[in-house]
Structure 1
Amino acid sequence: MSSSELFIKEHDILNQALLAGQSEAMPGEYYRRHLLILSESYRRLVRESERMIARSDRAEREMSRLNAQLHQLAKTLEYKASYDALTQVFNRGAIIDRISQALENGPASLIVLDIDHFKQVNDTYGHPKGDAVICGLIERLRCCLQGMGIIGRVGGEEFTVLLENMDIDQALVIATRLHADLNARVLAALPQQKVTVSFGISWAAPQTRFDDLYASADAALYQAKLQGRNCICTNPSRVA
């Protein structure tokens, strides 16, 4: 529908007023009547315009509100896609991506750690207590790392710590500090029992694949388990 079809009545009133304006020697009442009709039509158009502007403003505010909600929803979905729901550290997919990106830009060390005898914790105290132990461990790691590493959860009770641009000796110092802290103080979530952790450490040169770096650290972790758990092992064969 064209704009002229929407305003047929208004166009008729305007045309009649123009014709009246071109007429001469007509009674004053004739001109007054056409002026009143034109004025009333104009007033109605003004009211409709004001209502349209108000609706437009409301629509714009609603659009802004919906856009803000959409933006927040996108951020929420992005966060949930990247972070572990329980611990709020990077989930498996996200930490793999982060490690891969780090290796594209430089060398990196990787600490893989696993809670010793964690199944016994779940079996003895229940899974909610096990979840609390995991969260307590993550808080302890964050405190000890002081922002120096990036934590990821790669399995139920297995975690990684990415140390960008650090060699294996620096990684060993950090792992030793974490290990000592866990042995010195029990976790608040399980004060009646010490929770210990086994560590495996590897290092890789730039452009190394994630799978190679992780496999090397995982082999060191397996060695730590074989040695009786609650200890640190490094992989002597550096991934290059």
Structure 2
Amino acid sequence: MDALGEAPDLFEAEHRALLAARAAHAGGPDGAHAALGELLAAYERLLRETRRLVRRSDRAELEMTQLNQRLQDLAGELQYRATHDPLTGVLNRAAIIERVNQLFARGGLTLIVLDIDHFKRVNDSFGHPMGDKVILGVVACLKQALPAQGLLGRVGGEEFTLLLPRDDPEAAEAVAQRARRAIESHAFGLPDGSRVTASFGVSCLARGASFDAAYGQADEALYAAKRGGRNCVAHASGDLQLHD
């Protein structure tokens, strides 16, 4: 910037050479040769400066493109971390709550809540790394049992939810039983050779309900399954009935 705050003219020398060439052309042939030489030199400088500016602009554009892509990647990573459980990669509790309430605005749905039976014994007896291995194994079983349109979330340490987009008790029963059997038969590799099981609670509610209502009913059914001997499925449909 100059004293007046104006940006300098990058091509001032070329501009002066052009003015001199015009004056020489108007005044006759005597000074034209020298003016033409100055004009050629100025033009060469102009080309060099233009090329330099173009290269700098290309680099800046490339850097800006790379920066924008990095920002998009970071935004996607932050969004994923905000909505997914870090151990299992399934939806976290906040994301499940949001999805359930969104779906209830459009129609009915089924919420299946399950809890790994005697999970504290696994952690206390074999350590938390083995507990994490069991959790990951359970998630693998649930993914196999879940239909394509369903969603899977982790809402607590050993507690998970399966979200189905229709309030269909028979379909819910089939999915829950498929998941229960998959966990029961899975080889988790516990040091004592014991198996892992889970208990399930199911709620099916119509459009306009909320996560709190669906989770409350499913959780009540889950505890009924626990009281009924574990490794079974209970439905919240007025009275609670066990299905093994």
TM-score by length of 1: 0.91
CA contact (8 A) 1:186 1:193 kept: no
Structure 2 CA distance for aligned equivalents of residues 20 and 200 of structure 1: 97
Structure 1 CA distance for aligned equivalents of residues 16 and 149 of structure 2: 78
- What's the offset of the Cα at 1:131? 0.6
Q: Which residue of 2 aligns with 1:50?
A: 51
Q: Secondary structure at the match of 2:202?
A: strand
Q: Secondary structure at the match of 2:186?
A: coil
- What's the offset of the Cα at 1:90? 0.4
Q: After the TM superposition, which of the residue ranges 141-150 and 194-203 deviates more from structure 2? A: 141-150
Q: Which residue of 2 aligns with 1:122?
A: 123
Q: After the TM superposition, which of the residue ranges 111-120 and 190-199 deviates more from structure 2? A: 190-199
Structure 1 CA distance for aligned equivalents of residues 148 and 16 of structure 2: 76
Structure 2 CA distance for aligned equivalents of residues 212 and 42 of structure 1: 78
- What's the offset of the Cα at 1:12? 2.3
Structure 1 CA distance for aligned equivalents of residues 171 and 182 of structure 2: 17
- What's the offset of the Cα at 1:189? 4.4
- What's the offset of the Cα at 1:180? 2.3
CA contact (8 A) 2:146 2:162 kept: no
Match of residue 18, structure 1, among 17, 22, 34: 22
Q: What code does the residue aligned with 2:66 have? A: R
CA contact (8 A) 2:83 2:92 kept: yes
> Moved runs in structure 1, 4+ residues, more than 6 A?
none
CA contact (8 A) 1:113 1:199 kept: yes
Structure 1 CA distance for aligned equivalents of residues 212 and 83 of structure 2: 19
C-alpha change, 1:50 and 1:5, in structure 2 (3 Å) is: closer
Structure 1: gaps spanning 5 or more residues: none
Q: After the TM superposition, which of the residue ranges 11-20 and 154-163 deviates more from structure 2? A: 11-20
Q: After the TM superposition, which of the residue ranges 45-54 and 190-199 deviates more from structure 2? A: 190-199
Structure 1 CA distance for aligned equivalents of residues 189 and 70 of structure 2: 37
Q: After the TM superposition, which of the residue ranges 225-234 and 100-109 deviates more from structure 2? A: 225-234
Structure 1 CA distance for aligned equivalents of residues 189 and 206 of structure 2: 38
Instruction: State percent identity of aligned pairs.
Output: 45
Structure 2 CA distance for aligned equivalents of residues 199 and 235 of structure 1: 11
- What's the offset of the Cα at 1:174? 1.5
Q: Which residue of 1 aligns with 2:215?
A: 214
Q: Which residue of 1 aligns with 2:242?
A: none
CA contact (8 A) 1:201 1:234 kept: yes
Q: What code does the residue aligned with 2:188 have? A: A
CA contact (8 A) 1:220 1:235 kept: yes
CA contact (8 A) 2:151 2:162 kept: yes
Q: Which residue of 1 aligns with 2:74?
A: 73
CA contact (8 A) 1:107 1:203 kept: yes
- What's the offset of the Cα at 1:104? 1.0
Deviations 1:175-204 (A, max 9, x none): 122222322x23334372200101111110
Structure 1 CA distance for aligned equivalents of residues 128 and 214 of structure 2: 31
Q: Secondary structure at the match of 1:122?
A: helix
- What's the offset of the Cα at 1:4? 6.9
TM-score by length of 2: 0.90
**Aligned pairs, number:** 234
Q: Which residue of 2 aligns with 1:188?
A: 188
CA contact (8 A) 1:133 1:187 kept: no
Structure 2: gaps spanning 5 or more residues: 240-244
Q: After the TM superposition, which of the residue ranges 34-43 and 170-179 deviates more from structure 2? A: 170-179
Structure 1 CA distance for aligned equivalents of residues 176 and 106 of structure 2: 23
C-alpha change, 1:189 and 1:61, in structure 2 (3 Å) is: farther
Q: After the TM superposition, which of the residue ranges 130-139 and 166-175 deviates more from structure 2? A: 166-175
Q: Please list, as runs of the form range in 1=range in 2, the aligned pairs for 1:123-162 lying within 5 A after superposition.
A: 123-162=124-163
Structure 2 CA distance for aligned equivalents of residues 174 and 49 of structure 1: 68
Structure 2 CA distance for aligned equivalents of residues 8 and 145 of structure 1: 72
C-alpha change, 1:19 and 1:209, in structure 2 (3 Å) is: same
CA contact (8 A) 2:188 2:195 kept: no
